[in-house]
Amino acid sequence: MRIIETRAELQAWSDGERAAGRRVALVPTMGALHAGHLALLAEARRRADRVVVSIFVNPTQFNEAADFDGYPRVLEGDLAACRAAGADVVWTPQTEELYPEDASTWVDVEELSLPLCGADRPGHFRGVTTVVTKLFLAARPDVALFGEKDFQQLAVIRRMNRDLGFGLEVVGHPTVREADGLALSSRNVHLGPLARSQALSISQSLGLAEARVAAGERDTAALLEAVHKKLAEATLAELDYAELRDPERLTLAGPQLEGPTLLAIALRFGPDPDGQGAPVRLIDNCVLQPGKRPS
């Protein structure tokens, strides 16, 4: 496995691989790798001849400095995981490599960036799309893989790829979960024991909605009422949103489900009453499929 730090070296490597007729895949990450990331890497291996994993904690997508400073950084463990999973290259750029001191160029997918996470985190998706553009230009992949847990991010990147004509394949991979249903996230380690238990209300709400739709429910207000009731059981949490939206345009669903519909949820957890844990924001989603049995 090769470790690369500079953009120029990565571009030269990728150009050589593609010139030799080999297909290159990119798995963008911010490190603190877990089984969800490794599932992306495994899927990348199935879809390409060479796999690049980028590890970069992107400062421009954080709204709070404390959140950026507290993001877990475990590079040696991440490199070991990438090596074991068969990555060909790990790109670990320094901040100044991607953001020179006088950098003033941004990429902004305006409409899709506004609802859901964008409503509470202004500028977040501008940071995401800007850094992903830089990753695409450096790695020059044929295919890039992202987790469906960050559904809005995936939708925004797909639109950016289409609008700017990168010409690469953007693949979404199904959310990887703990055995009890909690979506894997690098932030889960900050949950106290009680918050960790209450966080299951998120996946349980998704399952409840899937079951109601499979049983014939189509009324969006009734579905959201059931979801909100389940989420209210998480007494340590504050609801950011629980919304039904079109999975491609992210517009609000109508009064009746008429096709595949995204149910997206975000909760903020505080520490446990005994002080264990730290503030954590968790997101999750599913796409409700009228007429299809729940997963």
Q: Render pLDDT for 258-280 as a digit per residue (tens, 0 to 9).
A: 999 999 999 999 999 999 999 99
- ∠ Cα 86 90 95 (to 5°): 160
CA 35 from centre of chain: 14
- Give the residue among 205, 190, 153 at the shortest CA–CA distance from 269: 190
Q: What is the pTM for the complete model shown?
A: 0.95
CB atoms within 10 A of CB 280: 21
- Choose the weakest-confidence range: 134-138, 194-198, 244-248, 290-294: 290-294
For residue 291, what pLDDT is reported?
A: 75
Q: Are 63 and 124 in contact (CB under 8 A)?
A: yes
CATH H-level superfamily of 2-173: HUPs (3.40.50.620)
Q: What is the pLDDT of residues 145-162, one digit of tens each?
A: 999 999 999 999 999 999
**Could you state, in order of their start, the residue ranges of all structural domains in the chain?**
2-173, 188-288
Q: What is the pLDDT of residues 48-94, one digit of tens each?
A: 999 999 999 999 999 989 889 988 899 999 999 999 999 999 999 99
For residue 295, what pLDDT is reported?
A: 53
What does CATH list as the number for 188-288? 3.30.1300.10
What residues contact residue 81 under an 8 Å CB cut-off, 6+ apart? Answer: 33, 37, 38
190 is catalytic: no
Token pair of 250 as six digits: 């992210």
Active-site entry in 37, 124, 173, 190: 37
